[in-house]
Structure 1
Amino acid sequence: MGMTQVCIIGAGPAGLLLGHLLRAEGIDCIVLERQTPDYVLGRIRAGVLERVTVELMERLGLNARLKAEGLVHDGFNLADGERLIRIDIAKLTGGHVVVYGQTELTKDLMDACGERGLEVVYGAADVALHEIESDTPYVTYSKDGREHRVDARIIVGCDGYHGPSRQAIPASAGQSYEREYPFGWLGILADVPPCNHELIYANHERGFALASMRSETRSRYYVDVPLTEKIEDWPDERVWDELAIRLGPDAAAHITRGPALEKSIAPLRSFVFAPMRHGSLLLCGDSAHIVPPTGAKGLNLAASDVHYAASALTAFLKRGDADAVAGYSDKALARVWKAERFSWSLTRLMHRFPEDGPFERAMQVAELDYIAGSVAAQTSIAENYVGLPV
């Protein structure tokens, strides 16, 4: 049986980031992870970092590689078939985003665990939360055929949409808000240079496409497809052909084709569970909310949750400030809902929904035309994309 101040469930970027922030404050914590380190690092996820995420890595002094390898982006592009509408983030907001893969960020956090004294238990199966409404919650899990128990003062669920943490909250104690989208994103990762030095989000009559990257030599592209599609029906050539059509002739002329390192279809959903705290349990990241990847907000929202959670737990565990923990959910949700709104509206703008008719399409055209000619509209998009203040 182990004792700790904070038991964190899930060793993705949210759990590791929180663990490192708490250890830096001298707070005891342990992180439990169902999978192996290799499995965690094999997950291909986000790549656009907001200021909040970059600043947390800076604060921890774990940003050396991020500083050396991250690509600073001062803008991004919306394409409507006719033109590229550039959103100049730097000029409109004074800020920028950094392109650096979630896998790389996770690796930086993982590699520092030993020297920073952050204990992570990998291969923790059957994790269950107990007595979360009391001041003495505990977590049980099995590993190597043995049952283990961790007693803590606070449990933090960083275990994603399907993890046990949110499920431990009684249905009557919270509310779910959800919107499932009628398509998924088919993604291809390849070791080829990107077709543009900035991201391109394209709205084409055949559907949405995104040209993105992880580095100067590794590209990430997406096309939206109906949820009924099978990855086997999309050989690499078909994906490249479709991208060339949807991204338009200018981008197509600069696309370098190459074999897929990874190819998958991810469903899209908007989801929020509120409140993000129940008794001695806090939720962070995907365990409490999911955004469609259109706004590049998933990892960044997890980071802002962690920012709020770390300061609340530090105030509570070092200074006895119970109000800090009580206020965590409202603080985090205020930012979550704005990011949900932005991700939903950008998804609505850039995709053709099956139920849409000529009117809805005309509205998209008018909206894109308005954005192209309005500094105010571009500023609003830039301010949300670069990340609202925490």
Structure 2
Amino acid sequence: MHVNHDRQVVPCYIMRGGTSKGLYFLASDLPAEPALRDPLLLSLMGSPDDRQIDGLGGGHPLTSKVAIVSKSTRADADVDYLFLQVMVDKAQVSDAQNCGNILAGVGPFAIEQGLVAAKDNYTDVRIHMLNTGSNAVTRVQTPQGKVTYTGEAKIDGVPGASAPILIDFLDIAGSSCGSLFPSGNSQDLINDIAVTCIDNGMPVVLLKAGDFGLLGHESPAELESDQSLKEKIEAIRLQAGELMNLGDVSKKTVPKMTLISKPLHGGLLNTRSFIPHRVHDAIGVLGSVSVATACVLKGTVVHDLLQQNFADGSVEIVVEHPTGQFNVEMEVSGSANINHFTIHRAALLRTARLLMRGEAMVN
């Protein structure tokens, strides 16, 4: 942060990553101490305010996100990435989760900023995710050694087409909760509702929509307007947080709560995700990986719903959400036994776009 024409300013990129949008910073441009950094980010975003009218946020959790990137000292990574969720209506900043959508923009940002040298055709960027200590590799299109955002790849929830960004997640099982099934069970009963608590990159609680008298294809607006439903789901979430080794989650953004139902449009299953209090217009990247994992493992509430078995090896799971679907490619073994289950890789396609770069004014 520095002074420019008698104003405090912070160099900043605004990028769309997947179906999210956020502010991207070099770590060296922000205070390292959260006590100084977080108030600054709240000011830049315009929180707390439902509209975030006096800041750069978009008035929704999906557009109130931050990526902080630095060159990594690790042998297995090129850059370190810290994700921060800036609350819209509260003066809170959370580092309790990863964000796989914002992750999609980290590779291009790192190359644009000179943290990673671009190669011809494409550049693989090895990213260490500081929130959970796990790694991912993103493949960024760099024809003639420059990042391009133009291409033919399309993802549901984003209009138009962009250059593809391929993401491979490595060793993410239990990255937030300590194990894939942090409660020790493939199913638990909370408030007389059968749930599966799972963490393959994102702590998620899976619940059958039918157990709440829902069809599963309700719109996010319909679900958000149902106060009784929200109270029931939040009561389960608070108890699930304890079971998942997350402690008191009343002020945390995890676990996510995902309602599951039979597919509507040819996918494997349909979802509606509370993140945790607003309903996602799509589904989070890492959330979709956790959901897909539950699909292939016997004993989960998803497996009970679908009654479909998967052979070991490479499988593609198509997860439906309110604005389309999400394809997750997985390579697994031991799916019939949760004690010997191994996820060898989880990969998916995202896109990103640089929207603006410049200086953010500090209030």
Question: Under a length normalisation based on structure 1, what TM-score does the superposition of the two structures give?
Answer: 0.29
More helix by share: 1
Identify which of structures 1 and 2 has the higher relative contact order when contacts are C-alpha pairs closer than 8 Å and 6+ apart: 1
Larger radius of gyration: 1
More strand by share: 2
